[in-house]
Amino acid sequence: MTKDTRLNISELARKAGLTNSTCRRYVKTFAEFIPHEGKGRQKLFPSECVQTLKHIKSLYDNGRSTEQVLDVLDRDYERIMDIQTQEDKDQIQAQEVVKTLVEHLRKQDSKDQEINKLKQAVSMLHKQVVDFRHEQKALPDPGSIDQILDRLNRLEERMAALEDKERSWWRKLLPG
């Protein structure tokens, strides 16, 4: 058996003289001392793990507790840090951040669309009132149209302020 040999959990259990379930339990309990590649059912173990598992089995056979086995392993073997697991956690966290950002952008786009529809409606109404004013110069009270125009102007100003308030920080930095 060469050092390049990789074993699945069944092969590892058989070579170490363990049942599959016991081997899985040892691999899970003493993961810091049993290196592997891959995830889940795709885990492959270097052939050196056979000796580690045999050592664990002999410690249990001699009446040692799990804590005592951990102490012996800590003394006799180097701990293995699973960097891939941390990278996976970081990747999952990054995916969640991106998902949240996309949801926020969709909501922001929806708000922007609503504001644009309102702006178009107010603009069209403003144009209609101006056109009406030009057509109806002979009204008995021309001040009422001026009041409507003033209200429409104030409404447009408030909508512009609302649009600026609702605009996200990144849209304020990158207009357009």
Q: Which domain holds residue 132?
A: 85-173
In a domain, 162, yes or no: yes
In a domain, 156, yes or no: yes
Structural domain total, the chain: 2
In a domain, 1, yes or no: no
Can you give the pLDDT of all 176 residues of the chain as single tens digits?
Answer: 445 688 999 999 999 999 999 999 999 999 889 888 877 678 899 999 999 999 999 999 999 999 999 999 989 888 876 555 566 667 777 788 878 877 877 887 777 788 888 888 788 887 877 777 677 655 556 567 777 778 888 888 887 777 777 666 666 666 65
- Is pTM beyond 0.75 here? no
Kindly state the DSSP code that residue 89 receives in the 8-state scheme.
H
DSSP string, 91-157: HHHHHHHHHHHHHHHHHHHHHHHHHHHHHHHHHHHHHHHHHHHHHTTT-S-THHHHHHHHHHHHHHH
Kindly state the DSSP code that residue 44 receives in the 8-state scheme.
B
